[in-house]
Amino acid sequence: MNSYLSRKFIIGGIFSLLILVYMSRLFFLQVIDQSSKLSASNNVLRYVTQFPSRGLIYDRNGTLLVYNEAAYDLMVIPNQVESFDTTQLCQLLRLTKEQVESRLQKAKSYSRYKPSVFENQLLAKTYAPLQEKLYMFKGFFTQTRTLRRYPERTAAHIVGYVGEVNEKTAKTKNYYRSGDYIGISGVEKSYEDVLRGEKGVEIFMVDVHNRIKGQYKKGKYDTAAVHGGNIELTLDNELQKYGEQLMDHKLGSIVALEPSTGEILAIVSSPSYNSELLVGRERSEHYLALQNDTLKPLLDRALMAQYPPGSTFKPVNALIGLQEDIIKPWTTFPCLPGYAVGRFYMGCHNHVKGLNVVGSIQHSCNAYYASLYRKLLDDPKYGNIENAFELWRNYVLSFGFGKSLGVDLPHEVNGYVPTLNFYNRIYGEGRLRSLYIVSNAIGQGELLMTPVQMANMAAIICNKGYYYTPHIIKELPSEFNNKKMPYLVQRYANIDSALFEYAIEGMYKAVNGEDGGTARIARFKDLDICGKTGTAQNPHGENHSIFIAFAPRDNPQIAISVYVENSGAGSSWAAPIASLMIEKYLTDTVSRGWLELHVNRKEFY
């Protein structure tokens, strides 16, 4: 009997405890915690996302490149939609009846209970009349957005553009929801987390007519949007604008760097496009037209195009030869003109005979570099040609070729420096001969470089061996300063700094030599421009005109590469363009109108 009473009291105590726990939980949910009340009130409350304004973008001199303009998205919650005048909504939004029905169906397939975008980026002239009659369309409401505007109409590839997030991004990144915008290209993409800011939310009470009656709980549960961070670019907008003018009606690119820091001063890709075309409701239509354009205006040639470097590569081979003691500064090689072995012949142009290292760069002698390259590969001190080739390749890689430099802009490609495996697949293992790949000596063969890599090579030469990774960001909000760290690291080519003086002297004489030089057209008084021309063979048409340069010779302020596709010799187009860009940057003016007239001839497309 006693054991029965004990079990009775124990079981009763357990039930009493459970009842107490449930009552405590109900009290907490109904009196203390308001989240359940908020959830149950979705049919009378409206949650409106407050989108932050994206950060502004400035150039290095404080010129505003990108700002925001107010726009509005029309949202819909399908479960709250009641019968409405379809014709009137069509007139207000300039849509067809089929488009309205299709968008309603799309919203339902996304969610019947969550808001989704019905029509985006409405400007004020459309928004004003719609807002007056919005009470007639239950389940519809508007939210404020911003559109990007570009007052300077320059640097489209650099600043980039924004667009709606795709389904994958919306699912994998918690910040984004369907209908949100995200940086798609350029700085907008690279620094999305800086520019986007943080979203907020406002909770409103609405009546049966879908009209806002006021804030819920006087805004107690609202959160404010946080404005995106403003950023300052290294770009010099005036130099960029001038470069785009010089490249008008041409295919190619210009990359200008500040060699002492790696800051990008200008990065021109031609043809370009008007950034305003990728803003607003017609964005998709314009994007499709740009994508289908045979001249590829969306392609950022400065970072994505790959070309043989041509004769601009000769200073690198000269430095490798000097470093490995394959040649001395006074070493000469014969030129016919040209280089001949048996039935093989590599042509060269007429120039003075008996050239040393400096003279070989000044007059761009093909025979000199064919002889140098073969002498290096066939030197018995390396054991075999495979070892010698790997040694040469590692030197080339140390100049930043064959890999992405790590520029803080999207879609940079690697270029290509051929591997031993590549040649073994072609010729067979152990059967490689120096004559088979002698084109590498003059920057042809399988070598491919990007324009930004070539500008970086010019910076390495004038810095006598070091470089900073080229970058476009100059100033960030303090909390994001860690993003600049990779661009503050000094990197080195595997060449003794003292040897660079021979390459510098050769490039100086190519432009300023009293006994001639391949780049005399680039000469300008008092600027001490140092440069190297190149003509890259193009199997698809005319050769590409190439020029790399820096100035002044002492304490260089600018390093530059110019590629003009399908235009012939480096001295014909690329060299004068580079010279004008250097003059513009260093003197803030241009005095050679005759050279501008030559460059601005419209004869390419």
End-of-domain residue from the set 211, 233, 255: 233
pLDDT, position 605: 43
* 86-93 vs 124-132: helix crossing angle, rounded to 10: 160
Contact 401, 451 (CB under 8 A): no
Domain membership flag for residue 10: no
End-of-domain residue from the set 207, 233, 259: 233
Question: Does 412 or 351 have the greater pLDDT score?
Answer: 412
Judgement on whether residues 227 and 246 belong to the same structural domain of the protein:
no
Judgement on whether residues 410 and 532 belong to the same structural domain of the protein:
yes
| CATH number of the domain bearing residue 141 | 3.90.1310.10
Judgement on whether residues 506 and 410 belong to the same structural domain of the protein:
yes
pLDDT, position 442: 95
Contact 456, 481 (CB under 8 A): no
pLDDT, position 178: 76
Domain membership flag for residue 27: no
Judgement on whether residues 565 and 419 belong to the same structural domain of the protein:
yes
Contact 202, 222 (CB under 8 A): yes
Judgement on whether residues 213 and 319 belong to the same structural domain of the protein:
no
Q: For 232-265, how does the pLDDT look when each residue is reduced to its tens digit (9 = 90+)?
A: 999 999 999 999 999 999 999 999 999 999 999 9
pLDDT, position 28: 64
187 has pLDDT over 80:
yes
Judgement on whether residues 182 and 279 belong to the same structural domain of the protein:
no
Number of separate domains in the chain: 2
- Residue 484: domain span: 237-287+297-599
CA angle centred on 275, ends 272 and 276, rounded to 5°: 135
Long-range contacts from 415-421, C-beta under 8 angstroms, 24+ separation:
415/306, 415/448, 415/449, 415/450, 415/453, 416/306, 416/446, 416/447, 416/448, 417/393, 417/447, 418/393, 418/445, 418/446, 418/447, 419/393, 420/386, 420/389, 420/390, 420/393
Judgement on whether residues 115 and 245 belong to the same structural domain of the protein:
no
Residue 433 and residue 474: Cα distance in Å, rounded? Answer: 48
Residue 55 and residue 68: Cα distance in Å, rounded? Answer: 8
542 has pLDDT over 90:
no
Mapping DSSP to helix (H, G, I), strand (E, B) and coil, where does residue 339 land? strand
| CATH number of the domain bearing residue 424 | 3.40.710.10
pLDDT, position 119: 87
pLDDT, position 602: 61
* 538 contacts: CB under 8 Å, gap ≥ 6: 544, 565, 566
Please tell me the pTM assigned to this model.
0.86
pLDDT, position 540: 66
Mapping DSSP to helix (H, G, I), strand (E, B) and coil, where does residue 488 land? helix
Element containing residue 246 per DSSP (H, E)? helix 237-246
Q: For 69-101, how does the pLDDT look when each residue is reduced to its tens digit (9 = 90+)?
A: 888 889 898 888 888 989 999 999 889 999 999
14 has pLDDT over 80:
no
Q: What is the mean pLDDT of residues 587-604?
A: 83
Judgement on whether residues 168 and 180 belong to the same structural domain of the protein:
yes
> Among 17-21, 117-121, 407-411, 482-486, whose mean pLDDT is lowest?
17-21
Q: How far is CA 315 from the centre of its chain?
A: 28
Judgement on whether residues 344 and 258 belong to the same structural domain of the protein:
yes
Mapping DSSP to helix (H, G, I), strand (E, B) and coil, where does residue 512 land? helix
Q: What is the mean pLDDT of residues 466-482?
A: 94
Closest CA to 303 of 148, 437, 446, 414: 414
Domain membership flag for residue 557: yes
Domain membership flag for residue 12: no
Domain membership flag for residue 5: no
Judgement on whether residues 253 and 205 belong to the same structural domain of the protein:
no
Judgement on whether residues 185 and 306 belong to the same structural domain of the protein:
no
Q: For 262-291, how does the pLDDT look when each residue is reduced to its tens digit (9 = 90+)?
A: 999 999 999 999 988 888 777 788 889 999
Domain membership flag for residue 31: no
Output the average pLDDT for the chain: 89
Domain membership flag for residue 370: yes
1 has pLDDT over 70:
no
